[in-house]
Chain A
Amino acid sequence: MTDESDHTEDNDPALAGEYVLRLLDAVEEARFEARLKDDPELQRMVHEWERELAVFAGDLAEVRPSKALKSRIMAQIAPAPSGPKRSIFGLWASGAAAVAMVGFLAFAPLLNAPGPKFHVDLVSGDLVVAAGFIPETDVMIVQLNQGAPRPGRALELWLIADGSETPVSLGLVPSEIGEIRVTIPAALLAQVEGATMAVSDEPPGGSPTGQPTGDILASAAVFEL
């Protein structure tokens, strides 16, 4: 092999390898990326190197970062902030967080009132339900952000308090995209922290028994904002 052959442009596999290894200088890298955008063959080569070279990472020992890092990261992705956390809205506006955006717009009119302190996202397939809880005013906000109840059925929201195994109904989820705000008993709101919530498929009007009777469609832990 001659030196000339090393430097011809048709040596794309090696070039793609250098790109993945991050060996190209800024100019070469920019030129390569400009081609990469519209060249599926080049994209394939890049993905192939990424996959193969990632094997090196298998040799690396796991190292734990400090425990505080997780809280820092979770705080950055927390939704519906109140007070000083409001700056996070800028982050959302620039991101592609369409679902979160819906939540933000819906909560926005309340910016000067106390905001939700607890939040839960219930997501499964096409269904996206969110609930927020405002302890100061005993208000619960329930949103249907995506999806719909099954035909002729209703969606019911359940609270399973920390340490309990018995779901308590929090009422129905809106049947169309939108939100409802209701006041719930303070005793119930006191159980939200650390709880798990779930959405079930129920007959119109909700479960006749006080316990879920249909499929549990989604469940998730409540999050403190």
Chain B
Amino acid sequence: MRTRAEIEQMIARIALKDRHAFSELYDATNGKLFGVVLRVLNNRAEAEDVLQEVYLRIWHKADRYVVTGHSPITWLVTVARNLAIDRLRAKQRQGSPRDVTDMPDLADPGPCPEAQSIAASETARLNDCLDALEPDRKNAVRGAYLEGDSYADLAEKFRVPLNTMRTWLRRSLISLRDCLSA
């Protein structure tokens, strides 16, 4: 992984349509972003399709990066995850429901190998606040983020009625927000 400053430089040059910088950014980030997309879609061919969309979006929207105020990797991960979930929801609308039993288990997060790319203090803070939640609720938030679970998916996974799931999750978010802002 390249440093934050290097990736920021690449994005700035991509905003000026520098294809060489784009090629470098691809080399530096494709493994991470493919990991994100593949986790949501759980299908390599579809995930590669979406990854292509992700990089074309980056090419065309690099000038939007500064507006978000994010670290570069946060911006890239957010773009990748959103496009993957767009594809997932489109599939669900076309009536191919996901078999959640096929999804890889939600492992508890080990030590973060990307501590250098996502600020270590941020990671520690979120993990502390997540640990203050009940384990099921914490896993529901992670499932929604990493696997793109909808309320219906989560309700099925945790075997609770949909409305209960929604109430749970909203309360978890409020607790998280209180904890993160404390």
Measuring CB to CB, which residues of chain A are less than 8 angstroms from any residue of chain B? 1, 3, 6, 11, 13-14, 17-18, 21-23, 47, 50-66, 69-70, 72-74, 76-79, 95-97, 99-100, 121, 123, 128, 220-221, 223
In-complex Cβ contact of B170 among A11, A59, A96 (8 A):
A11
Besides A52-B180, A99-B17, 8 other A-B contacts (C-beta < 8 A): A3-B167, A6-B167, A14-B177, A17-B176, A18-B169, A21-B145, A57-B114, A58-B115
User: Whose C-beta in chain B lies nearest to the C-beta of A13?
Assistant: B177
Q: Is the CB of B118 within 8 A of A60?
A: no
Q: Is the CB of B146 within 8 A of A128?
A: no
In-complex Cβ contact of A55 among B51, B55, B70, B122 (8 A):
B122
In-complex Cβ contact of B118 among A6, A23, A54, A61 (8 A):
A54
Q: Is the CB of B70 within 8 A of A51?
A: yes
Q: Is the CB of A23 within 8 A of B144?
A: yes
Q: Is the CB of A63 within 8 A of B35?
A: yes
Q: How far is the CA of A14 from the CA of B180 in the complex (A)?
A: 13
Q: Which A residues are in CB contact (< 8 Å) with B70?
A: 47, 50-51, 54
7 A-B pairs closest in CB distance: A62-B31, A17-B173, A58-B114, A21-B144, A59-B109, A60-B35, A54-B74
Q: Is the CB of B17 within 8 A of A121?
A: yes
Q: Which B residues are in CB contact (< 8 Å) with A220?
A: 18, 20
Q: Is the CB of A60 within 8 A of B32?
A: yes
Q: How far is the CA of A54 from the CA of B17 in the complex (A)?
A: 27
Q: Which A residues are in CB contact (< 8 Å) with B180?
A: 52
Q: Is the CB of A100 within 8 A of B17?
A: yes
Asked if B81 is at the interface (CB within 8 A of a chain A CB), the reply is yes
Q: Is the CB of A65 within 8 A of B32?
A: no
Chain B CB count within 10 A is highest, among A53, A55, A72, for: A55
B interface majority secondary structure: helix
**What distance in Å separates the Cβ of B131 from its nearest Cβ neighbour in chain A?**
13
List which B1-46 residues lie within 8 A (CB) of chain A. Answer: 13, 16-20, 22-23, 26-27, 30-32, 34-36, 38-39, 44
Q: Is the CB of A51 within 8 A of B170?
A: no
Q: Is the CB of A64 within 8 A of B34?
A: yes
Q: Is the CB of B68 within 8 A of A65?
A: no
Q: Which B residues are in CB contact (< 8 Å) with A21?
A: 141, 144-145
In-complex Cβ contact of A64 among B30, B77, B117, B167 (8 A):
B30
In-complex Cβ contact of B36 among A17, A57, A77 (8 A):
A57
Q: Is the CB of B122 within 8 A of A70?
A: no
Q: How does the 8 Å CB contact mask read for B74-103 relative to A, with 1 for contact and 0 for none?
A: 100110011001000100000000000000
In-complex Cβ contact of B126 among A18, A52, A73 (8 A):
A52
Q: Which B residues are in CB contact (< 8 Å) with A96?
A: 60, 63
Q: Which B residues are in CB contact (< 8 Å) with A123?
A: 13, 16-18
User: Whose C-beta in chain B lies nearest to the C-beta of A101?
Assistant: B17
Q: Which B residues are in CB contact (< 8 Å) with A47?
A: 68-70
Q: How far is the CA of A121 from the CA of B47 in the complex (A)?
A: 30
A23-B31 contact given A58-B113, A77-B19, CB 8 Å threshold: no
User: Whose C-beta in chain B lies nearest to the C-beta of A52?
Assistant: B126
Q: How does the 8 Å CB contact mask read for B146-181 relative to A, with 1 for contact and 0 for none?
A: 101011000000000000001101110110110010
Q: How far is the CA of A97 from the CA of B22 in the complex (A)?
A: 14
A99-B16 contact given A54-B74, A73-B26, A76-B56, CB 8 Å threshold: yes
A-B contacts, 14 of them at CB < 8 A, read: A6-B170, A14-B174, A23-B151, A50-B74, A51-B70, A52-B126, A53-B145, A54-B118, A58-B113, A61-B113, A70-B26, A74-B23, A99-B17, A223-B20
Q: Is the CB of B177 within 8 A of A63?
A: no
**What distance in Å separates the Cβ of B1 from its nearest Cβ neighbour in chain A?**
9
Q: Is the CB of A73 within 8 A of B52?
A: yes
